[in-house]
Structure 1
Amino acid sequence: MRTATLPAVRVTPETRLLIESALREGETLSTFIEQAAAQHARWRKEDEAFYARGLAAAQRLDAGGPSITVDQSLARLRVRAAAAFGKPLK
């Protein structure tokens, strides 16, 4: 696959200094910007999917689908957290 060039991005001198100060050893400004853009694009896709799942759940609930109480939901979260951390959470 061939590579492509993204459009130039204008930033303030302060923003450029901030980004450059965050670069790791051997990392270039171009690499940082490419990775940041890809990461944000992935996050945005996940955010859109999360929103779509929420809308679908609301529609199922409005249509008379099953629901659980807040206490049931919190109990399930406590079980998952305890499994993840190896101990019960208060």
Structure 2
Amino acid sequence: MKTATIPSVRVAPAFRAEIEALLGSGETLSEFVENSVVEAVQRRRNQAEFIARGIASLVDAQQSDSYVDADVVIGKLERKLAAAKAQR
């Protein structure tokens, strides 16, 4: 399999020096950048999957009639809070 390159990124010299100071033992700047990109891609993939699961769960709850509207829940919580404050 052939490899591809990621475009260079211009940064201020001070920022590059800061990154280089944080590199692990034997770690190169290229390895650091590659690992950072891989982690960012995984984080975005996880976010997209999380949102997809949330939307699917919402649709399922609405279709199964076990859905409680957020305004109803918030109203109940506000009444409980008001009751707790009144008991003080």
Verify same fold: TM over 0.5: yes
Distance 1:65 1:14, change over 3 A: farther
Structure 2 unaligned segments of length 5 or more: list them.
68-88
RMSD between superposed Cα atoms in Å: 2.1
Please state if 1:59 is matched with 2:59: yes
Counterpart of 1:12? 12
- Aligned 1:1-90 pairs, distance under 5 A: 1-66=1-66
Normalised to the residue count of structure 1, the TM-score between the two structures is 0.66
> What code does the residue aligned with 1:34 have?
E
Identity, in percent, stands at 39
Compare CA radii of gyration and give the structure with the larger one. 2
Whole-Å Cα distance in 1 between the matches of residues 50 and 2 of structure 2? 32
Ranges of 4+ aligned residues in structure 1 off by more than 3 Å: none
How far does residue 60 in structure 1 lie from its aligned partner after superposition?
1.2
Corresponding pairs, count: 69
Counterpart of 2:82? none
